[in-house]
Structure 1
């Protein structure tokens, strides 16, 4: 159990600047000035600048701005509270907290200008929880100092009366058994009184304090990041993976967008159903009607391995988190795990009664989840030794599945127009999402917040997973049918939705705007699947029923690739650069 109150570790504390010669609400020195700065409140802008200068290490400049403007970064009570927490004066910290007003009351005012004689808390502030956090820090520091008797007294008389979470209190009491300060820090995931723990405590406490008297940490940096994100979200052809400059508005030229075929790879064994880039972007795996999986080198696209073992078509593949293994599942009712460096078969799983439809890796790389048409083993977790660890359901077939990158959500499609969303950690069913049309495939975004569902009618729906499947957007224009069509998130910051189509077209939409940017001729008669490189915003792969894999990029990259092939003789047309591993 972790004891950090917040999720992010603060690295720098912000100085408290309280001018002694001028009141906090004094007019700017040097004469009358406007109360606004280009439409923004002058005091707010100035205080944010003072904080930013302190964050940047320009303390003298921050003091100068505070002095000349007459605006304080914080009121004296806030400064006292900050120093009490950072200095370990727990009695003073609680005293100041006890006298705090609540924002919106007559005594709280609206900001530093009100000169409130105490802290101002937000209306939803949990005072008991704030006191618990303070006393928890006090308790841990006493344990660190080996003041066990005093720590026990704090636990019994100060912490226990405030908190009803018996599991948390039991964990805190178990720390009394630690043999050394190092054991305490490791067990509690806490770095001690002289680490960042007090600053982290202050950060968490500040979330309950009105921003009018205590600015949120690094406020200017947060605002600038929001500006960047807003500009990126509206960049129609966003291809830059670097952070936008603050000097100019962000813009990506359409010519840099990958919309041209750079090269074609020929499977030679039949329709290609699936393509997936490795996590490091250095390899591409493909599978389909042929009985083997091909691994291609990126960016030369030479054949590295042909993994031959299935006796019929291979429907799905998945790279392990570290890309050293790959699982394949086939129409031959079996799943296999391969070593992607040597091509050797590592594990052949027990034969199912019906085809294995889909596969994903657990985030720790120690187990996989297989979906199958076999109802007795429709959705199961397996270890790498081939042992079944858990079965979620025996009520329906599983036609497709996806696991979120953070390891929290497991989404399974059945054959009855239902999506089943499980908590992968607890293995409990969170909710079911009823669809009006049969789902053909599902994929989850890199931030684990959203899922794309391809439907039989050709539409693609974007759902918020955490909000119990709230429909966020529909992407229309593709065609559907009875065959599996796959879509994907992709591009810089996953700004785009890309999908195959039953009519052989390739469709690309802007994820946030919802506008279709491209409809390109891709494969005939059908474009089955797509995969955008996770490390190259200007490259993606498609595959189809024409037995081809196509690699797409922008015009400049296409010209450069053709020049490299002509000059060096490298590329997918070269022969003798791969080998077949026959199991």
Structure 2
């Protein structure tokens, strides 16, 4: 410096470098080529209504977009003076921009003119020049820039000489060669930049803001917004939410999709129309249809039939090709009253919950980082609980686990002890089933009788005899009505009988079948039932309570087992030729059938009607998806045999699969992972034919076998009172296990 006639030229990397020219956005000029657009990570400010924003965009087109380059004597140019485009909505929320107070303080700072005369400088040493490529991103900041030269937040940049502040109260710190504030964000402290125990700090903050709002702690949520610097939603998303809830449909579509079609980006998650960023696979036409359908229904509600018809013709029809749906909407125009409209459309009107439901469905199509899914923290906590339960081998309670401690269930609480043995039968027991309320148990078998047990006293309250003078045949199946007031029994004597469970009296006896009646199932309304028979005629029939046939499916199959879904939508039947048949119970049409290559012995539905449990003669049990028509899980370990062995779901929330086996063991598997929980010596050395888990007491199940006994299994705590009740009854003592 000393001997030279001129002072070295000082260039600040951020403040004195040429500002890149920012091209107009696609929304400014629809004719602009997509390939020439510079994509940025900016989020457009949506504090203006879309109509105002469009008007401003038109004004921007007359502005000079060229960048300004400062010389060393020029006054510093603040980035908030740049004419910024309405950038593409970022899929990631960024820090809130600095307050205006900081910008004013920054303007009071010395400019480049404060440098001394030639060969002299101010008292402070000049910082070293830094490479420009290091200035493009905050240290530790891995956020994407979407290819843009300088990412900004919410479509505006903070003053480069202004530090990040909260509420505009903190004072600005001196800039160091432009590195303290980059891309409109102040340099984070180590605490701010660090992850929250391996989790993204911004994501955690936004989830907490949402959770506090869900809990009703609005002031706390606002305080967290101010302290963290993160908003739950961008102004654009907030404007979109408000537009949907206020019924401003044109504004909602403009905010959602921008001002051009962008159909070429269908399903990609991109939105080059400069609207909100969509989730991967989101279908724009579906979203448009939902919005316009709500608009159509609200016009009908307001009895504005003319405008509603125009919406149907010009807005709904072009974006939706489902003719059946469009015909249904057109039929709503003929509804004589608003009440009939709501009933027929299953819609509660503009002032009900319909707009909130619409917003909820639309939010699922937006990028999750843009619009946080509803109640996200609660959903994550529930997933944690479900994961704990899935990994807990002995979890068998419906009580929700605590978040304060790790989850663990003790084996001692699982029903592994024989609390009682019931000895009333004199021959093999083929089937048992608890009533829906868990207070009674039916057992039946080879001797031709069905016994109903009271689970409080452990005594037989009714004996339902199938013994006829000319022969004695066994009872192979029984089914409780939905309200437990009636019971159907299926017998080898080729009859099915309907009983009153309160009196033990027979109500109906169906006309004699050609072969034994193998199984039966009740319709959910309790007004009819279905029987399965091992003959090719009347093999699958529906009956009313008067014993009259309602419908005969008429397919030539010998039915082994049947089951009806709890929602009454599906009827499943297995035949003796290894096939599974799935019928629509409402239309009575065959949905599909499958060949399992081996004989199927039993079938049962889950409570949610989505899955069935299939037992096979080779000892394998499968969990099968009705909708996907695929095997989900296999439960193995049983000895293959030649007898009918039945398996069922059981435990709290149907968490287990339980089955007997040909060698007398009782197997319990975990439904979620297929692992064997326990293998119990149930009825050795003969067969364990049937099992039933108490639907109201997850700590109790029953087993039955060829040893003529019904065993009641409980955990250690419940065993003592059951044993006490047994000793007070007339039953004999427990036999060997």
Q: Higher strand proportion, which one?
A: 1
CA distance in 1, matches of 2:495, 2:270: 71
1:143 aligns with 2:304: no
Residue 156 (structure 1) aligned to one of 313, 318, 327: 313
1:113-134 residue CA offsets vs partner (Å, 9 max, x unmatched): xxx9631112422222212211
- Are 2:354 and 1:197 equivalent residues in the alignment? yes
- After superposition, residues 251-270 of structure 1 pair within 5 angstroms as 251-270=408-427
Is residue 467 from structure 1 mapped to residue 621 from structure 2 by the alignment?
no
What secondary structure does 2:553 align onto? strand
Q: Cα 1:57–1:28, aligned 2, differ >3 Å: closer, same or farther?
A: farther
Stretch moving more, 224-233 or 324-333:
324-333
The aligned runs of 1:176-575 (5 Å cut-off) are 176-309=333-466, 311=468, 312-468=473-629, 470-524=630-684, 525-564=686-725, 569-570=728-729
Q: Does the 8 Å contact 1:29/1:70 carry over to 2?
A: no
Q: Does 1:43 align with 2:202?
A: yes
Cα-to-partner distance string for 1:119-168 (whole Å, 9 max, x where unaligned): 11124222222122112212222222233333333233332333322332
What is the distance in 1 between the residues matched to 2:689 and 2:215? 51
Partner of 1:81: 240
Aligned residue for 2:333, secondary structure, equals helix
Distance 1:27 1:250, change over 3 A: farther
In structure 1, distance between residues paired with 2:311 and 2:494: 61
Residue 393 of structure 1, CA deviation = 4.5
| Deviates further, 263-272 or 242-251 | 263-272
SS at match of 2:537: helix
Q: Cα offset for 1:30?
A: 7.7
Q: How far, CA to CA, are the matches of 2:94 and 2:342 in structure 1?
A: 33
Distance of 1:28 and 1:215 partners within structure 2? 26
Query: Which is bigger in relative contact order (C-alpha 8 A, separation at least 6)?
Result: 1
Which residue number in structure 1 is paired with residue 325 of structure 2? 168
Q: Shift in Å at residue 373 of structure 1? A: 0.7
SS in 2 for 1:222: helix
Equivalent position of 2:106 in the other structure: none
Q: Which moved more, 1:421-430 or 1:352-361?
A: 421-430
Find the aligned partners of 1:17 and 1:152 in 2 and give their Cα distance.
43
Residues 18 and 75 of structure 1 are in contact (CA less than 8 Å); yes or no, is this contact kept in structure 2? no
CA 1:286–1:117: 2 relative to 1, 3 Å: same
How far apart, in 2, do the equivalents of 1:296 and 1:368 lie? 23
How much has 1:423 moved relative to structure 2? 3.2
- Cα distance in 2 for partners of 1:251, 1:508 equals 19
Shift of 1:31: 7.1
- Of 279, 291, 305 in structure 2, the residue corresponding to residue 134 of structure 1 is 291
Residues 428 and 705 of structure 2 are in contact (CA less than 8 Å); yes or no, is this contact kept in structure 1? yes
The DSSP-based 3-state class of the residue aligned with 1:261 is: strand
Corresponding position: 1:53 with 2:212 = yes
Structure 1 range deviating more: 384-393 or 553-562: 384-393
CA distance change for structure 1 residues 162 and 474 in 2, over 3 Å: closer, same or farther?
closer
TM-score, scaled to structure 1: 0.87
SS of 1:160's partner is helix
1:36 deviates by 1.8
CA 1:17/1:368 → structure 2, altered by over 3 Å: closer, same or farther? farther
Shift in alpha-carbon separation, 1:407–1:107, aligned structure 2, 3 A = closer
Q: 2:257: which partner in 1?
A: 98
Question: Which residue of structure 1 lines up, in the alignment, with residue 88 of structure 2?
Answer: none
Instruction: Say whether the 8 Å CA contact 1:500–1:529 is kept in structure 2.
Output: yes
* Runs of at least 5 residues in structure 2 that lack an aligned partner in the other structure: 1-92, 100-152, 155-183
Instruction: Specify the SS of the correspondent of 1:375.
Output: coil
State the 1:18 CA deviation: 10
TM-score, normalised to structure 2, is 0.70
The alignment yields a C-alpha RMSD, in angstroms, of 2.7
CA contact (8 A) 1:371 1:400 kept: yes
* Contact 2:269–2:367, Cα closer than 8 Å, also in 1: no
Structure 1 match to 2:38 = none
CA contact (8 A) 1:500 1:507 kept: yes
SS of equivalent residue, structure 1 residue 40: coil
1:300–1:572 Cα contact (<8 Å) kept: no
Unpaired runs of 5+ residues, structure 1, are: 1-15, 109-115, 575-583
Q: In 1, distance between residues paired with 2:313 and 2:527?
A: 42
Q: Compared with structure 1, are the counterparts of its residues 295 and 96 closer, same or farther at alpha carbon in structure 2 (3 Å cutoff)?
A: same
Give the structure 2 partner of residue 10 of structure 1. none
Q: Secondary structure at the match of 1:44?
A: helix
> 2-side partners of 1:517 and 1:280: how far apart?
26
Distance 2:687 2:394 in 1: 26
Contact 2:257 2:274 in 1 (8 A): no
Aligned equivalent of 2:282, options 125, 136, 148: 125
Deviates more, 1:298-307 or 1:231-240: 298-307
Total equivalences in the alignment: 549
Distance 1:27 1:409 in 2: 61
**1:263–1:551 Cα contact (<8 Å) kept:** yes
In structure 2, the residue corresponding to 1:37 is in which secondary structure?
A: coil
Per-residue Cα deviation, 1:340-366 (whole angstroms, up to 9, x for no partner): 233333322221111110111122323
What is the CA–CA distance in structure 1 between the aligned matches of 2:718 and 2:187, rounded to whole Å?
55
SS at match of 1:550: strand
